[in-house]
Amino acid sequence: MIVVMRLGATAKEVGQVIKTIEEMGFKPHLSKGEERTVIGVIGNERKFDPGRLEVLPGVEKVIPILRPFKLASREFHPDDTIVNVCGVQIGGREAVVMAGPCAVEDREQLFEAAEAVKRHGARLLRGGAFKPRTSPYAFQGLGRKGLELLREARERTGLPVVTECLAVQDLPAIVEFADVIQIGARNMQNFNLLEEVGRVQKPVLLKRGMMSTLEELLMSAEYILSKGNMNVILCERGIRTFEKYTRNTLDVSAVPVLKRLSHLPVVVDPSHAAGEKYLVGTLARAGIAAGADGIIVEVHPHPEHALCDGAQALLPSDFQKMMEELRLIARAIGREVAPSPDAAAPAAPATATSSPHDLRAEG
Amino acid sequence: MIVVMRLGATAKEVGQVIKTIEEMGFKPHLSKGEERTVIGVIGNERKFDPGRLEVLPGVEKVIPILRPFKLASREFHPDDTIVNVCGVQIGGREAVVMAGPCAVEDREQLFEAAEAVKRHGARLLRGGAFKPRTSPYAFQGLGRKGLELLREARERTGLPVVTECLAVQDLPAIVEFADVIQIGARNMQNFNLLEEVGRVQKPVLLKRGMMSTLEELLMSAEYILSKGNMNVILCERGIRTFEKYTRNTLDVSAVPVLKRLSHLPVVVDPSHAAGEKYLVGTLARAGIAAGADGIIVEVHPHPEHALCDGAQALLPSDFQKMMEELRLIARAIGREVAPSPDAAAPAAPATATSSPHDLRAEG
Amino acid sequence: MIVVMRLGATAKEVGQVIKTIEEMGFKPHLSKGEERTVIGVIGNERKFDPGRLEVLPGVEKVIPILRPFKLASREFHPDDTIVNVCGVQIGGREAVVMAGPCAVEDREQLFEAAEAVKRHGARLLRGGAFKPRTSPYAFQGLGRKGLELLREARERTGLPVVTECLAVQDLPAIVEFADVIQIGARNMQNFNLLEEVGRVQKPVLLKRGMMSTLEELLMSAEYILSKGNMNVILCERGIRTFEKYTRNTLDVSAVPVLKRLSHLPVVVDPSHAAGEKYLVGTLARAGIAAGADGIIVEVHPHPEHALCDGAQALLPSDFQKMMEELRLIARAIGREVAPSPDAAAPAAPATATSSPHDLRAEG
Amino acid sequence: MIVVMRLGATAKEVGQVIKTIEEMGFKPHLSKGEERTVIGVIGNERKFDPGRLEVLPGVEKVIPILRPFKLASREFHPDDTIVNVCGVQIGGREAVVMAGPCAVEDREQLFEAAEAVKRHGARLLRGGAFKPRTSPYAFQGLGRKGLELLREARERTGLPVVTECLAVQDLPAIVEFADVIQIGARNMQNFNLLEEVGRVQKPVLLKRGMMSTLEELLMSAEYILSKGNMNVILCERGIRTFEKYTRNTLDVSAVPVLKRLSHLPVVVDPSHAAGEKYLVGTLARAGIAAGADGIIVEVHPHPEHALCDGAQALLPSDFQKMMEELRLIARAIGREVAPSPDAAAPAAPATATSSPHDLRAEG
């Protein structure tokens, strides 16, 4: 932490800053510039509220130096974390595709979607039982009934299930029925929910708030990690910008930035960023090319009857095409996307696996 | 709702849109322009998911026409709502000042703050017992102990108490101890919490999310109203922008826009918008000049020892000066701010030109 | 400037940073924290490109300490600058109102507007001869013909004229015909134009870019000042945010922040921020309450025939009402707004409470 | 254009809207909903200022239906435009890489950079002679001397040259010396410059303003096209968001959105978006994966001595590695990036050229 004094700050004002730093158990370090005096604070600044210094007379501003997250930080945990979801490794060489409908609507819809995504190579099934909606008048999900259908779909297909938890009181049911607990963008700073999710031992898919910085995302991960749950998967899903032709703006740089700052796996949600079907496959390709550890995408067998977000849902045939493209992109950067389980023996991919470039290392 | 067809959409595509509108129980209204066909949807569009039409072939976009909120809307409730908090009217002629420390820290701090703000004309006492903090390592508030101190302070001063509720499980205690339930900016779209707060009959102070639109704020109010609690006070507290010299940017236009769109009272929080003490009084004046029904502001007797947000806390003497200024501004627009209870019979106000305060010097 | 080294940076890396700082003629100042080493750079950092250090191995980031502007800074010029426009003082005790149509359309429109704004107390006449339009198909202003009409209106009313300069090649004509050169929001970083405007000796009204920070605004002022023209008036006109019910968001904090950072006068443009007439008066009041040195506002005698921005234009009667309100607000903070020149001896102001205007109704 | 009337608008108010529409030579189309009346305006709304209707009593808002650009629109020009720069086709099957230093600093630096980028497959040389800088005290480029060096470098390497034009008065020299005129982000709405550039017959690389929407970018392209210059290349270079770990946020969705809305080629600038070298290659890969027609990237032989933006410059060896990666990604989507000219006969690429997916069509 660096305290910058105002131009013309008096010796007495500087003295009071130094005294306060010492009283709080830290070590001050004085440096006089041509125009201003700055005072370094030596110690673990994460436990030091900068407001204590900002209020002192003669202080212009206080600049933090350390990153505020520690458990989530690659500096303190250099190796990649790999989250194991019922045998599927997230954060390893394979880029994992999670797919399914926005909301669980009924048994037929869910099973049709689940079987389609499995057939084309998805490794996890997504589907919402509790839906956060801006309007109190909109469809809010099937609730516990939706969770039961997700469990049936999982038994049928063998795909582990990821579903969103909106409220602490729903957490026990979600822990019972699902394999990955999703924390949605609107709850990224619902600290109470983060703490409770940190106390269970299920993998968590933590979505970036649509107007949050990456540092805020990592601080929310820190909440979960600090309570003992180390299985956190970060998810970039688009941020709010002034652009109107997309629902949100996919921040593809989030992938390499997060991989550099943190050891946690990072997946990309192209559906919510796009808002329209025609963009989803393109954004998924960009995400994989940028080094994402996976993609979470919405697929609906009959989008024209979807109860929410039909406009961004892929048809099973769109999903198949996207998966073929993602396999080519993944190979080009030395990674892979799972083949369709029906595929014949996967012909030895020619060039890319032998690529000498470990592109992930760059991020 | 207006469906805009693509240039060159076929008659068959138009026909399918019309059919879908009819199937959903609405009435289509066709209009052919020079370049495009548009189709109006006649009926209560709040119950119509636009995604159903957006996915149809030939559709370019779907534009909503109606405002999505109804109970919060002035169109359906032309008269101002006045929220009664233990006899204090919020939304009437008086602009009500709520003040107190950011967080309850201990008995002495709270009582000193409470007595100071009362002495200078505050009508409600604010103070946080549960604090939402970006970092899991920061001070999180005293919890229930804080609520108990707030009750003591209220008994001592007679000021009703406003305090934040972060989680559904804390709601019963907050309902028991406080007079106004504050929903903070980070929980503005915690829909589960909004619903629960909608089921109790305590006034709610709903803060705008720091990256939310006014329509989203009104939709969150709609959640509370739709569950039966009609005592909602809206609060503008600054939004995130690219500006770095302020913590957030106070959107002063929010006051007249919300008053036009809605019948609910609107208050302004200059402390969180400013982030620095020197701005608080100026922003409070602007808020009152823009027609706010009140101000909620942070006051701390010893900001240099504050456990959070000390930099933006007013000293009691700053608060006194601000109150004097606000009384003059309120009078200039035909409203009033409560006098200090110690004041003798309110001497006929001298004209403002004789004010000894050079307010510009503050900025 | 502070160089923060990465965790684990080697002594050799630190040595190279120190050597580079010395080679550039600055003095390094080393400080070892518990986790990181930081190195201060002593000297006038405004002449030091941080990129030179950012590229060195082991460097995490470089943090500037000094403000990048100097001539515009209050630190180096503590007294308020007062800009004299043909005898009207901008930046003094009077809050100066500038008003007139968005664009000069024809003689009748301009003269009717000019006489109306003069009658109600405006001190300068505004009007665009060159209009920046997003669409090449929209009305682009009358050009030189517009300047000639402005000169006629000035002769008729005695009001000095402010008009926008869009291009260097138009500058000689604007210098000839106008009294204040306006640089619009879209040209705030047209550095070439700023330099040319800095070489003439006419007052400049510099509008904040609609997505610019206050520091960027002050750097643009610095461009003008650094070429020798010290008569710069800063103007806040609203910034782009996610809010849709206003055209832009008036950043009212800009007034006190700019007054603290700089000695230059600051005016507020409520018309472009609002985008709709019903908000203009309210925002003007907030601007004056926040300490603005003036207001620049659009008035049109027949907005329903305006060639641009009719929706935000005040009628002369609206303008009159706004002026009455601004006088009361200005007095409440110890300033003043010019009376109508037709007014008889300014009768002692009745107290504001007797104001017949129910201002809240406007919002 | 759709006029939405307020709830409770009177028949007289509706009548006046209809009359105004007719007076302006358009055809009204009335539609009464359950809550509101809406009135369609039939005709070419690009010539209709919505303000004319917004000011009428009873009107709530006016919603445009048509896209405001026409010459830039794919609707009116379905085939891809291919811009020919001295034989290099931009917008065809090849994704074209443009590279070189941020600023031309001296002969050695420029020639070393030019030869390096040519050696690894760049097809155009970039370099700034006129530099837009936020600070008047920063290096502003070599000016005409820089243009002369660029011409020398072009003669030496055979690479056509792209360089930025900041001001109308510099345009003749830039037309004389360069092959592509770059309009930088800060000048995207310098309409005067756009018009002048529209009057010459050189290709233009138009960068998106860092806070502009894609519609605004296309309107700026429309300015150039409307003056007769049809050789416009659009460039996404990152937009300002709240994220601090990147200089700007690369909006990778801009590529497919622009390809869908417009026939103009689209390139991506990963250097300015990233701000830091470690991100550049990753963002370039994402851009190509998203279907960009090219990449423009900064390369400096000695970034530690760069006079501007050294932190984001690639070394020649970084550039070589990036080019190898881009070739693999391009092939994965059925496109190609030029090989190094020194490369032996490019071995027939196995699979990807025979890929049945025309991924570009998706955008």
Q: What is the CATH number of the domain that holds B26?
A: 3.30.70.1140
Q: Which chain D positions have a beta carbon within 8 Å of C186's beta carbon?
A: 189-191
Q: Does D19 touch chain A (CB under 8 A)?
A: no
For helices A214-226 and A254-261, angle between their N-to-C axes, nearest 10 degrees: 40
Q: Which chain C positions have a beta carbon within 8 Å of D50's beta carbon?
A: 311
Nearest to D31 among B7, B31, B33 (CB): B31
Over range C293-299, report the average pLDDT: 98
Position D342 in a domain = no
Residue C69 contacts residue C312 (beta carbons within 8 Å): no
List chains adjacent to chain C, taking adjacency as at least 3 C-beta pairs closer than 8 Å: A, B, D
Q: Does B28 touch chain A (CB under 8 A)?
A: no
Q: Tell me, what's the pLDDT at B362? A: 32
Contact D34 B42 (CB under 8 A): yes
Contact C355 B334 (CB under 8 A): yes
Position B92 in a domain = yes
Position A291 in a domain = yes
Min Cα distance B24 → chain C (Å) is 30
**Same domain? B316 vs B211:** yes
Provide the 10 A C-beta neighbour count for residue B22: 11
Min Cα distance A55 → chain B (Å) is 5
Q: Tell me, what's the pLDDT at C358? A: 36
Closest Cα partner for B154 from B98, B201, B199, B203? B98
Q: Indicate if the alpha-carbon torsion angle A14, A15, A17, A22 is positive or negative.
A: positive
Q: Which chain D positions have a beta carbon within 8 Å of A248's beta carbon?
A: none
Q: Does B244 touch chain C (CB under 8 A)?
A: yes
Contact D65 B7 (CB under 8 A): no
- Mutation target among A217, A240, A244, A252 for the D interface, most CBs of D within 10 A: A252
Min Cα distance B31 → chain D (Å) is 7
Q: Tell me, what's the pLDDT at C342? A: 80
pLDDT tens for the 363 residues of chain B, in order: 899 999 889 999 999 999 999 998 899 999 888 888 999 988 887 777 788 899 899 999 999 888 899 999 999 899 999 999 999 999 999 999 999 999 999 999 999 999 999 999 999 999 999 999 989 998 899 999 999 999 999 999 999 999 999 999 999 999 999 999 999 999 999 999 999 999 999 999 999 999 999 999 999 999 999 999 999 999 999 999 999 999 999 999 999 999 999 999 999 999 999 999 999 999 999 999 999 999 999 999 999 888 888 889 999 999 999 999 999 999 999 999 999 988 754 444 444 433 333 333 332
pLDDT tens for A241-284 read: 999 999 999 999 999 999 999 999 999 999 999 999 999 999 99
Closest Cα partner for A95 from A326, A258, A280? A326
Q: Tell me, what's the pLDDT at B344? A: 55
Structure tokens at C50: 């941080």
Cβ within 8 Å of D, A 293-332: 321, 324-325, 328-329, 331-332
D240: closest chain C residue by CA: C211
Cβ within 8 Å of C, A 58-87: 63, 65-66, 75
Q: Does B38 touch chain C (CB under 8 A)?
A: no
Measured CA to CA, the distance from residue B328 to residue B348 in angstroms comes to 12
Structure tokens at D114: 């030019």
**Same domain? A154 vs A207:** yes
Over range C330-354, report the average pLDDT: 71
Residue B139 contacts residue B109 (beta carbons within 8 Å): no
User: Which element (helix H / strand E) includes B206?
Assistant: strand B204-207
Cβ within 8 Å of D, A 335-354: 350-352
- Please identify, among B63, B97, B114, the residue that sits at the C-terminal boundary of a domain: B63
Q: Tell me, what's the pLDDT at C48? A: 76
Q: Tell me, what's the pLDDT at C209? A: 96
Nearest to A2 among C2, C35, C242 (CB): C2
**Same domain? C51 vs C145:** no
Position B309 in a domain = yes
Chains A & D: contacts with CB separation below 8 Å: 162
Tokens 């990224």 label which residue? A188
Kindly compute the dihedral angle of the four CA atoms of residues A242, A243, A246, A251, in this order, to the nearest 10 degrees: -70
- Any residues with CB less than 8 A from the CB of A320 and at least 6 apart, and which? A120, A340
Is the confidence at residue C17, as pLDDT, over 90? yes
Residue C195 contacts residue C170 (beta carbons within 8 Å): no
**Domain hosting residue A14, numbered range:** 2-63
pLDDT tens for A160-193 read: 999 999 999 999 999 999 999 999 999 999 999 9
Measured CA to CA, the distance from residue D318 to residue D321 in angstroms comes to 5
Measured CA to CA, the distance from residue D80 to residue D74 in angstroms comes to 8
Residue B270 contacts residue B299 (beta carbons within 8 Å): no
Q: Does B211 touch chain C (CB under 8 A)?
A: yes
Give the number of residues written for chain B. 363
Q: Tell me, what's the pLDDT at B350? A: 40
**Same domain? A117 vs A42:** no
More confident residue, A356 or A287: A287
Q: Does B30 touch chain D (CB under 8 A)?
A: no
Task: pLDDT band for A352, please (50, 70, 90 cuts).
Answer: very low
**Same domain? A140 vs A241:** yes
Contact A63 C2 (CB under 8 A): yes
Which DSSP string do the residues of D215-236 spell out, in sequence order?
A: HHHHHHHHHHHHTT---EEEEE
**Helix (H, G, I), strand (E, B), or coil: what is residue A44?**
coil
- Please identify, among D34, D63, D92, the residue that sits at the C-terminal boundary of a domain: D63
Position D20 in a domain = yes
Measured CA to CA, the distance from residue A147 to residue A170 in angstroms comes to 11
- Mutation target among C26, C31, C243 for the A interface, most CBs of A within 10 A: C31
Min Cα distance B211 → chain A (Å) is 6
**Helix (H, G, I), strand (E, B), or coil: what is residue C262?**
strand
Measured CA to CA, the distance from residue D326 to residue D306 in angstroms comes to 26
Q: Indicate if the alpha-carbon torsion angle A46, A48, A51, A55 is positive or negative.
A: negative
Nearest to A65 among C4, C8, C75 (CB): C4
Phi, psi of B221 (to 5 degrees): -60, -40
Contact C49 D191 (CB under 8 A): no
**Helix (H, G, I), strand (E, B), or coil: what is residue C1?**
coil
Average pLDDT value for chain C: 92
Q: Which chain B positions have a beta carbon within 8 Å of A136's beta carbon?
A: 191, 195, 219, 222-223, 226-227
Closest Cα partner for A248 from D283, D234, D257? D257
Number of domains present in the structure of chain A: 2
**Same domain? A140 vs A287:** yes
Structure tokens at C54: 């950012």
Displacement of CA D284 from its chain's centroid (Å): 15
Q: Tell me, what's the pLDDT at B232? A: 98
Q: Which chain B positions have a beta carbon within 8 Å of C250's beta carbon?
A: 251-253
Burial A271-302 (b: 16+ CB within 10 A, else e): bbbbbbbebbbbbbbbbbbbbbbbbbbbbbbb
B310: closest chain A residue by CA: A51
**Same domain? A135 vs A219:** yes
**Same domain? B198 vs B257:** yes
Q: What is the mean pLDDT for each group of 10 consecutive residues in chain D (363 residues)?
A: 91 95 91 87 81 90 91 94 98 98 96 98 97 91 97 98 97 97 97 97 96 97 97 98 95 98 98 93 98 98 88 95 98 96 57 38 33
Contact C282 B261 (CB under 8 A): no
Closest Cα partner for A335 from A313, A311, A359? A359
C30: closest chain A residue by CA: A31
Structure tokens at A360: 């992930």
Nearest to C168 among D167, D187, D195 (CB): D167
- Mutation target among A189, A224, A241 for the B interface, most CBs of B within 10 A: A189
B7: closest chain D residue by CA: D75
Position C345 in a domain = no
**Same domain? D150 vs D263:** yes
Q: Tell me, what's the pLDDT at A308? A: 83
**What's the complex ipTM?**
0.91
Is the confidence at residue C357, as pLDDT, over 60? no
Closest Cα partner for C271 from C237, C235, C319, C240? C237
**Same domain? A239 vs A279:** yes
Q: Does B136 touch chain A (CB under 8 A)?
A: yes
Measured CA to CA, the distance from residue D121 to residue D136 in angstroms comes to 36
Name the β-bridge partners of C362.
none
C167: closest chain D residue by CA: D192
List chains adjacent to chain B, taking adjacency as at least 3 C-beta pairs closer than 8 Å: A, C, D
SS (H, E, C) D96-134: EEEEECCECCCHHHHHHHHHHHHHCCCCEEECECCCCCC
Measured CA to CA, the distance from residue C196 to residue B134 in angstroms comes to 47
Structure tokens at C145: 């013909």
Residue C250 contacts residue B283 (beta carbons within 8 Å): no
Q: Does A4 touch chain C (CB under 8 A)?
A: yes
- Mutation target among C94, C96, C253 for the B interface, most CBs of B within 10 A: C253
Measured CA to CA, the distance from residue B197 to residue D75 in angstroms comes to 50
**Same domain? A175 vs A306:** yes
List chains adjacent to chain A, taking adjacency as at least 3 C-beta pairs closer than 8 Å: B, C, D
Q: Does A229 touch chain B (CB under 8 A)?
A: no
Structure tokens at B20: 């879908």
Task: pLDDT band for C344, please (50, 70, 90 cuts).
Answer: low
Q: Tell me, what's the pLDDT at B65? A: 87
Task: pLDDT band for A344, please (50, 70, 90 cuts).
Answer: low
**Same domain? B106 vs B139:** yes
Is the confidence at residue C151, as pLDDT, over 80? yes
CATH of residue B124's domain is 3.20.20.70
Position C76 in a domain = no
Q: Does D242 touch chain C (CB under 8 A)?
A: no
Over range A81-105, report the average pLDDT: 97
Q: Which chain D positions have a beta carbon within 8 Å of A279's beta carbon?
A: 253, 256-257
Contact B42 D32 (CB under 8 A): yes
Nearest to C167 among D56, D135, D168 (CB): D168
Say what percent of chain C tops pLDDT 70. Answer: 94
Position B55 in a domain = yes
Is the confidence at residue A295, as pLDDT, over 70? yes
Q: Which chain C positions have a beta carbon within 8 Å of D310's beta carbon?
A: 49, 51-52, 54-55
Contact A274 D286 (CB under 8 A): no
- Any residues with CB less than 8 A from the CB of A274 and at least 6 apart, and which? A238, A246, A247, A250, A280, A283, A312, D253
